[in-house]
Structures are given as structure tokens and as C-alpha cells.
Amino acid sequence: MWSEIGMFEREVALYKALQPYLGGVSFVTYGDRNDLKYKETLRGIQILCNRWGFPNRFYCWLLMNFYPLFWKKATIVKSNQIQGADIALKAARRAGKKFIARCGYLYSYVIEQKYGENSHQAFNAHFLEQNIFSEADQIVVTTFFIRQIIIERYKIKSEKIIVIPNYVLTDLFYPDQKRGDSRNRICFVGRLDKEKNLFALLKAVKGLNLELVIVGSGPLRKELEEKAHKNGISVQFWGNIPHRQLPQILNSSDLFILPSLYEGHPKALLEAMACGLPVIGTDVPGIRELITHRETGYLSGTSPEEIREAIKEVLADRPLRERMGRNAREFIVENFSLERILRMELELLQELVEGDSN
């Protein structure tokens, strides 16, 4: 999936950077033997996948009970997200190893928004999170907002939760000095799903003299295209783009916009800011923690009217755009570079290894 949506390089960069400091890195996947084709790209990272095509239930049993028998030396098991983390936790406990539960976004919150707070799906999501967070040796979250929710909702001790944010490849995402050929191009990058609030964005830009580029795919693409065509809105849908091509797209834009109803720790926003691009984000959890209004970006409401006014104000004020772009780049380099996140990860791993008698 990372490969299909153009995120592969970004997602594996940290683990490639960790390799020289560790005895080894393994990716445990739920995919079949086709996952092995990424072996060359991953350069030494071991891929453990369902190469035999076993039924998923039996394969999960192997992950929990068979693979751990071979973890003889110091080993730390880390989940990438909450979904599937119960398998990783059981495997770690089977081997007597330390377990890190990573939470890039609050899974239960996403499920609540999709199915309702009192739904059966939300109950299951809360139950899963309660189990994972309570049993983990360490919890890694991407924002202090998520950390506080976990503390309050699940009564987890604060010292058990560390904030390690998402990183940006700042040597790839940087300002293009040739920028300046203004076409009033606004860019959005992300999944075309309900929480991104893209129908409000379409309504907001209707009638404005600008060019809207939407990068990404998702279940709402066809409906969004039909809406734009029906209402005469000029929009380009570019689908998924390889990660290395995103800086060029961002640097060819005058403004980046993320009109979401909620976010975890949006990587696309961080990358746009790293390019020195002025950004507009809605004043919602996950975005407001990254943007200082009119300094590193512009915060707006989530309604079409509020988004429209934000776009008009920012596009009309070039000094504001330039100031926000400069400040955004400095903010990202200082706080979200891969080098900084690498140091944080290594400190966490070292601390766990030193406390592990195994």
C-alpha cells in the first residue's frame, strides 16, 4: 500500500537510518510473498511475510507463537499503528521481549467519526487501545494532544508515553528558489476521504480566480470529480504521485491547504511547510498544534465560507505569504528533521535495551 500511494520511501527512511546503529531491522507484514520484491529497495532490512499463503488466522498464530522462538538476542518489537498491534504484543510477550506501541493517530477517534461514538466498532476500537496501551512497555505518539487523551481516557501513567513526531526529509523537501511565477495555484495532498472536508473546499474556491490541484486518491474521488464538473469548478485531480515528485508539485504552487475536520499528525502539511510554502489549515486537533496563526501558517474554520475568506486573504497578501513560508521552513527543520527523530528513536531503544535483562 505504501508503494501504491507513493509513500514507500518516506515510510521506510527512518528504519534505513536506524540500521547502522542496530544489530538488525525486520519488517513483519501481513502480505504474501509479493512483499519480498521490496527486498532490494530496503537494503538489508529483513522481510517476514506470509510467503506460503497460509490462511490469515494460522499466519497470525505463527507470528505470535513460532517466530518469537528465534528471537534469542536483545529484541524490541514495535507496532507501526494500533491496528494489528495486538498480534505484535502477543509475539513480544511470547518471547519475553519489550514492546513499543506506536500511535500515529488515535484509531478510536477515527472509528468514532466514521461509525459513531456509541457504535459497536467504536467499542471494539476502545477495547483494543485499552489493552495495547495498558500492556505496552512504552507508548510512542506523534503529538502531545494524543498523549493527553491517552492519559485521561485510559489512565496510563504519563512517563510511559513519549512524543516522537513524524519526520520530514528536509533535504528532499526544501524551497525552490525559482518560485515566483504566480498562477494562484492552490495544492492539496492527501487521501480523498470524508475527514479531509474536500466538498467544503470545492465550494470555497467556486468562482475564485485560482487553480486547484488535488493530489491523492480515495473513495470520494469520483464524487468529487462529478461535483466539480457539475458546478463548473476548475480542479485538477492528479491521483497518487511518487514521493520524490511531491516537492516539485509543492514548489510550483502558491499555497497549500489542508481543510480537514480532524487530523493526527499530517505529514503532507509538514512537507509543504518544509518547502517554505505558505499553508492554510483548519483550526482542528492535529493541525492547530503545528500552525501558529499568521506566523507559520494560517488557521481557518472548517466551513466553506471561512475557508474561502482565508484563501482570499492569504493570496492577496504576498508579504504575509513570504513571512509564513520562511517561518514554516525554519520550524520544520528545527523540530521535524529525520536526524532529530532518529536521535529520539535511538534514545528510546537504548533505554529499553538497558532495562532488558534479555
Per-residue tens of pLDDT for the chain, all 358 residues: 888 888 898 999 999 999 999 999 999 998 999 999 999 999 889 999 999 999 999 999 999 999 898 888 889 999 999 999 999 999 999 999 999 999 999 999 989 988 999 999 999 999 999 999 999 999 999 999 999 999 999 999 999 999 999 999 999 999 987 655 567 999 999 999 999 999 999 999 999 999 999 999 999 999 999 999 999 999 999 999 999 999 999 999 999 999 999 999 999 999 999 999 999 999 999 999 999 999 999 999 999 999 999 999 999 999 999 999 999 999 999 999 999 999 999 999 999 988 765 4
Same domain, residue pair 102 and 155: yes
Instruction: Tell which residue, 125, 186, 192, 163, has the closest CA to residue 265.
Output: 163
Instruction: Tell which residue, 244, 245, 289, has the closest CA to residue 266.
Output: 289
Is residue 94 a part of any domain in this protein?
yes
End-to-end Cα separation, the chain, in angstroms: 34
Same domain, residue pair 256 and 329: yes
> How far is 148 from 269, CA to CA, in rounded Å?
22
Instruction: Tell which residue, 307, 316, 250, 256, has the closest CA to residue 283.
Output: 307
- Cα-atom radius of gyration of the chain, to the nearest Å? 21
According to the model, what pLDDT value does residue 5 have? 83
Same domain, residue pair 190 and 312: yes
According to the model, what pLDDT value does residue 357 have? 52
Same domain, residue pair 78 and 199: no
Same domain, residue pair 122 and 244: no
Q: What is the DSSP string of 331-342?
A: HHHHHHBHHHHH
Domain tally, the chain: 2
Same domain, residue pair 235 and 125: no
Q: In the chain, how long is the greatest CA-to-CA distance?
A: 66
Is residue 245 a part of any domain in this protein?
yes
User: Domain containing 282 — which CATH number?
Assistant: 3.40.50.2000
Is residue 316 a part of any domain in this protein?
yes
Angle at 135 between CA 65 and CA 128, to 5 degrees: 85
Grid cell 506566523 in the structure block, residue: 295
Is residue 63 a part of any domain in this protein?
yes
Is residue 129 a part of any domain in this protein?
yes
Same domain, residue pair 214 and 325: yes
According to the model, what pLDDT value does residue 355 have? 76
Same domain, residue pair 106 and 206: no
Is residue 204 a part of any domain in this protein?
yes
Can you list the positions of beta strands (E) in 88-191? 98-103, 138-141, 161-163, 185-189
Instruction: Residue 316: give the domain boundaries.
Output: 185-336
Is residue 15 a part of any domain in this protein?
no
According to the model, what pLDDT value does residue 282 have? 98
Same domain, residue pair 152 and 245: no
According to the model, what pLDDT value does residue 178 have? 62
Same domain, residue pair 61 and 154: yes
Same domain, residue pair 296 and 246: yes
pTM exceeds 0.85, yes or no: yes
Residue pair 227/205 in contact by the 8 Å Cβ criterion? no
Same domain, residue pair 271 and 243: yes
Q: What is the DSSP string of 19-30?
A: GGGSS--EEEEE
